[in-house]
């Protein structure tokens, strides 16, 4: 098969798809031949993403922190496409800095989106994938899931939790032909870095210790295009110059 059409005839959905890693992954999937539902709460940004990506991109405005909209996600996807082969749970928030300075509402919002929403979204798509006897689920985790980064204890804790979720759910559903994996990049040039401690961000920029979202997308596409008998469960990727 032509590698540029490795996902030909497949349907994917990506949360947090209007920008950053989500947009880059949606773009890579479309270039590989897939039709992709772009899920985001930012309607203007989704419209721009749809314009950039073309007719294979189907925008779906959803606020996943709204319980009713979150619960309706799978139904809304299937209304647009009729089926779902790939689900990429990518949407997330960041809370960094010292725990003593963290805001309670910000902690709740981040943990809800980074953990609860991911679990609910994956649970939502599983019945459809189980009925079809196949599917791919990718979760955007973080290098912080594998190393206790001292400048982001709240964020790192959310990613440690979701890494456990990926590993345990994979063991429950592989018998149904469903692959579950996590991509754990180090610092990526996205809007989330705006919340990094200023000194850490300046250091990373100076050292060239940042990844591009497109580089993450290339690895996600690699995970999705392995033979069905192979699951890439965890990929940790980081800039060569990143000191951890």
Q: What distance in Å separates the CA atoms of residue 20 and residue 79, rounded to the nearest whole number?
A: 26
Give the pair of three-digit tokens for residue 238.
């980081």
3-state DSSP: the chain helix, strand, coil percent, rounded to 5? 50, 15, 30
- How far is it, in rounded angstroms, from Cα 241 to Cα 205? 11
CA contacts within 13 A on the Cβ side of 100: 0
How, if at all, do strands 35-40 and 57-61 pair? parallel
Catalytic residue at 155?
A: yes
**Measured distance CA(235)–CA(47) in Å, rounded:** 31
Q: Where are the alpha helices (DSSP H) in 18-103?
A: 20-31, 43-53, 67-71, 73-81
Q: Is 80 exposed, middle or buried (0-12, 13-18, 19+ CB in 10 A)?
A: middle
Which candidate in 155, 160, 165, 196 is catalytic? 155
CA neighbor of 139 nearest in space, from 172, 174, 106, 167: 167
Catalytic residues: 155
């Amino acid at each position: 098969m032509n590698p540029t059409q490795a996902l030909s005839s497949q349907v994917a959905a990506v949360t947090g798809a209007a920008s950053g890693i989500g947009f880059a992954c949606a773009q890579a999937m479309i270039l590989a031949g897939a039709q992709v539902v772009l899920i985001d709460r930012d309607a203007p940004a989704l419209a721009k993403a749809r314009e950039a990506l073309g007719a294979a991109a189907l925008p779906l405005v959803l606020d996943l922190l709204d319980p009713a909209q979150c619960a309706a996600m799978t139904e809304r996807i299937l209304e647009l496409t009729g089926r779902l082969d790939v689900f990429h749970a990518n949407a997330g928030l960041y809370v960094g800095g010292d725990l003593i300075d963290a805001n309670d509402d910000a902690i709740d919002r981040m943990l809800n989106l980074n953990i609860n929403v991911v679990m609910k979204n994956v649970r939502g798509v599983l019945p459809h994938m189980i009925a079809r006897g196949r599917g791919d689920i990718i979760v955007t985790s973080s290098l912080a899931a594998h190393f206790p980064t001292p400048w982001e204890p709240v964020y790192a804790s959310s990613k440690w939790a979701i890494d456990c979720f990926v590993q345990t759910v994979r063991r429950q559903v592989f018998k149904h032909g469903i692959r579950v994996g996590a991509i754990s990049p180090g610092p990526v040039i996205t809007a989330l870095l705006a919340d990094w401690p200023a000194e850490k961000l300046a250091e990373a920029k100076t050292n060239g210790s940042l990844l591009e979202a497109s580089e993450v997308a290339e690895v996600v596409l690699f995970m999705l295009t392995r033979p069905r008998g192979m699951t890439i469960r965890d990929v940790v990727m980081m800039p060569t110059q990143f000191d951890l």
